[in-house]
Amino acid sequence: MDHTESRSHKRTPLYAQIESYVRDQIRSGKWKPGKRLPSENQLCKQFDVSRITIRGAMDKLVEEGVVFRIQGRGSFVAEEAGMGEPAKYAFGRETSGERELQAVAVILPRLQGMLTTSLLAGVERALEPSRFRMLLLTTDDSQEKEEVKLQEALRAGARGVIVYPAEGRTYSEEMLRLTLDRYPIVVIDRYVRGVPTHCVCSDHIAGAYEATEHLLRLGHRRIGFVTTPYEGTTSLEERLEGFRQALNDYGVVLDRSLVLERAEPDAIANFLAAASNVTALFAVNEQIGQIAIRAAEAAGMRVPEDLSVVFFDDYDHADAARIPPTCVAQQGDTIGFEAAGRLLSLFANPNQERSMVRIPTRLIVRASTAAPKSGEQVERDAAWDPL
């Protein structure tokens, strides 16, 4: 095989290679009409791929009438092309000239918060004109549960997946397999470096930069950064990078002692007691931001008079909160709409180059941030524009 042919073979998706293998077995007469095909598990072992990949190859052959399925018995070679028994699937059949609905799995860490609600609304808006509908599954931010939910999506006949991956340095085993098999899959919010995927996420760096710059323009220079362990979770790493870039542009060196990787109330209270000159906090999400506000008040600090707090993610009725928070709002509806649109395009052309779409964020300034009480020098600092 010459180099050109080798490169062409490598570009062929695995499901297409399996589809070609089945056709070749039938054309050569090795698999005759009425013969039962190897099971999905057998084909998985033979080609070292996921069941979703096998299902994708077999679905195409079923649609063309090359093979047919009998519920509970397996797949069989049809008598002749176009004359096979129709597939017995809950999704994907066409009857009376009408297209039946097919499933797209949407897998999220949890169902809570404005971001999740708006994200799902965006996915539904994009899918509405198509024959695809959502199959919603949650993982509790666990890679083990993510494996289970992906397998559930497979059993339900999902033709593609939109997944908000569980936190971690790598994808779950099933996620990696799907990605490498070029199964139609789009990840949102976070990605794994070195593993090319179709990804739609917020511009975390720009959002964190804008929030930090807001604090710097108010005059804050000792700013804490509160997060869960961030290494390996790209959305959190990028928020820290945006924080660092803003400090650097305002002539402030990032003090690693002001980066707290524990979000428990006691840890934040101890952090504030030890770093008594900190005048502001940046929290990586709304939950940690709320914990920080309560911890500060429990320690006798007033927000924003003694401590300004800003965090990622808006929430419902935030304007009516006791302390309406300054926050970075993500455009969940746009993220969901773009992710679903990208998945639909992958159904039509699965060999597209992997791409990343970054959706802008928006800083909403409310009552949890104010200028520090540091005297005339801070006022001069606040008026200074580094540009």
Question: Taking 50 as the threshold, does the pLDDT of residue 387 lie above it?
Answer: no
* Ranges for all domains in the chain classified under CATH 3.40.50.2300: 101-202+332-360, 204-330+364-383
Q: What would be the CATH architecture of the domain defined by 3-88?
A: Orthogonal Bundle (1.10)
Average pLDDT over residues 176-188: 86
For residues 56 and 67, give the distance between their C-alpha atoms in angstroms, rounded to a whole number: 13
Q: Quick: pLDDT tens for 52-65.
A: 888 888 887 877 77
For CA atoms 320, 322, 327, 333, the dihedral sign is negative
Tokens of 382: 């606040």
What percent of the chain has a predicted confidence (pLDDT) above 90?
A: 56
Question: pLDDT category, 40, cuts 50, 70, 90?
Answer: confident
| Per-residue confidence (pLDDT) for residue 178, from 0 to 100 | 83
| Per-residue confidence (pLDDT) for residue 51, from 0 to 100 | 81
| Per-residue confidence (pLDDT) for residue 384, from 0 to 100 | 44
Q: What is the pTM of this model?
A: 0.74
Question: Taking 50 as the threshold, does the pLDDT of residue 142 lie above it?
Answer: yes
Q: Quick: pLDDT tens for 244-302.
A: 999 999 999 999 999 999 999 999 999 999 998 999 999 999 999 999 999 999 999 99
Average pLDDT over residues 40-50: 86
| Per-residue confidence (pLDDT) for residue 326, from 0 to 100 | 98
Average pLDDT over residues 199-224: 98
Q: Quick: pLDDT tens for 330-382.
A: 999 999 999 999 999 988 888 788 889 999 999 999 999 999 986 534 443 44
| Per-residue confidence (pLDDT) for residue 349, from 0 to 100 | 82
Upstream peptide bond of 386 is cis (omega within 30 degrees of 0):
no
Cα of first residue to Cα of last residue in the chain, in angstroms, is 59
**Cβ neighbours of residue 51 under 8 Å, at least 6 residues apart?**
40, 41, 44, 151, 154
Q: Is 342 exposed, middle or buried (0-12, 13-18, 19+ CB in 10 A)?
A: buried
Question: pLDDT category, 73, cuts 50, 70, 90?
Answer: low
CATH 3.40.50.2300 fits 101-202+332-360, yes or no: yes
φ/ψ of residue 200, rounded to 5: -125, 120
| Per-residue confidence (pLDDT) for residue 7, from 0 to 100 | 43
Q: What would be the CATH architecture of the domain defined by 204-330+364-383?
A: 3-Layer(aba) Sandwich (3.40)
For residues 161 and 179, give the distance between their C-alpha atoms in angstroms, rounded to a whole number: 11
